[in-house]
Amino acid sequence: SAVISQKPSRDICQRGTSLTIQCQVDSQVTMMFWYRQQPGQSLTLIATANQGSEATYESGFVIDKFPISRPNLTFSTLTVSNMSPEDSSIYLCSVARDTFGEQYFGPGTRLTVT
Amino acid sequence: TQLLEQSPQFLSIQEGENLTVYCNSSSVFSSLQWYRQEPGEGPVLLVTVVTGGEVKKLKRLTFQFGDARKDSSLHITAAQPGDTGLYLCAGPSGGGNKLTFGTGTQLKVEL
């Protein structure tokens, strides 16, 4: 397993501003993932972050809006840029471990944009 | 794109009742995982099923992988309020350890 922490746990931001979310893992991992989730609904993958290379974004998500850093094997950040109320959501990071790619998640960051 | 449809979407039951959650796809998956998510937390892995027809038990929870590896089910016996949460199935897709998550089942167990 892996222990993952995220900061901040929640925030309320004004439209047009940016927020950087941090994800820290207690062990070295190759791949980290960033998801978005509406409360009570399923997860949507934003991007996959590998150390030492550019993040790979899923359809509908772009680097200018969600820049990601991965400076080492235990840490990553996701920035939500130029926020609008539509960006209000829960943002989760995860890492893949074990044989079948099972993922371990951080507690999430609940973002509200006003 | 491999899709995973879960049913029901919502389930509200009384303590002590039994329930089954279904996870269906038109695609074959090499394995399927089940997660439970409680409010304010990230999803937590419950089990991975790998072999078609496999049945795994975790206390009062029974997981089954379909023979054709296109579907899975989660059965809870004598549900308790602590079982309340969002249940998600997920399967590997797209390579690179990426997962496709199911549509989710929100379960509420009341006293």
Residues A106 and B90: their CA atoms lie apart, in Å, by 17
> Is the omega angle on the peptide bond into residue B8 within 30 degrees of 0, that is, cis?
yes
Q: What pLDDT does residue A2 have?
A: 86
Comparing CB atoms, the residue among A41, A92, A96 nearest residue B97 is A96
Contact status of B42 with chain A (Cβ, < 8 Å): yes
Question: One-letter amino acid identity for A22?
Answer: Q
> Is the omega angle on the peptide bond into residue B81 within 30 degrees of 0, that is, cis?
no
Confidence grade of residue A52 (pLDDT, cut at 50, 70, 90):
confident
Model pLDDT for residues A31-41, shown as the tens digit of each residue: 999 999 998 89
Contact status of A31 with chain B (Cβ, < 8 Å): yes
Confidence grade of residue A65 (pLDDT, cut at 50, 70, 90):
very high
Contact status of A96 with chain B (Cβ, < 8 Å): yes
pLDDT at A98 over 80: no
Sorted by where each begins, the domain ranges of chain A are 4-102
How confident is the model over B12-20, as a mean pLDDT?
98
pLDDT at B111 over 90: yes
Sorted by where each begins, the domain ranges of chain B are 5-110
Model pLDDT for residues B53-76, shown as the tens digit of each residue: 999 999 999 999 999 999 999 999
Comparing CB atoms, the residue among B33, B45, B101 nearest residue A43 is B101
Contact (Cβ atoms closer than 8 angstroms) between residue A109 and residue A10:
yes
DSSP code at position B82: G
Interface mutation target, options A102, A109, A110, A111, chain B, most CBs of B under 10 Å = A102
| Runs of H (alpha helix) within A1-114 | none
Residues B32 and B45: their CA atoms lie apart, in Å, by 11
Model pLDDT for residues A15-27, shown as the tens digit of each residue: 999 999 999 999 9
Class of domain A4-102: mainly beta
pLDDT at A1 over 80: no
Q: What kind of fold does domain B5-110 have according to CATH?
A: Immunoglobulin-like (2.60.40)
Nearest to B101 by CA among B93, B89, B109: B89
Contact status of B92 with chain A (Cβ, < 8 Å): yes
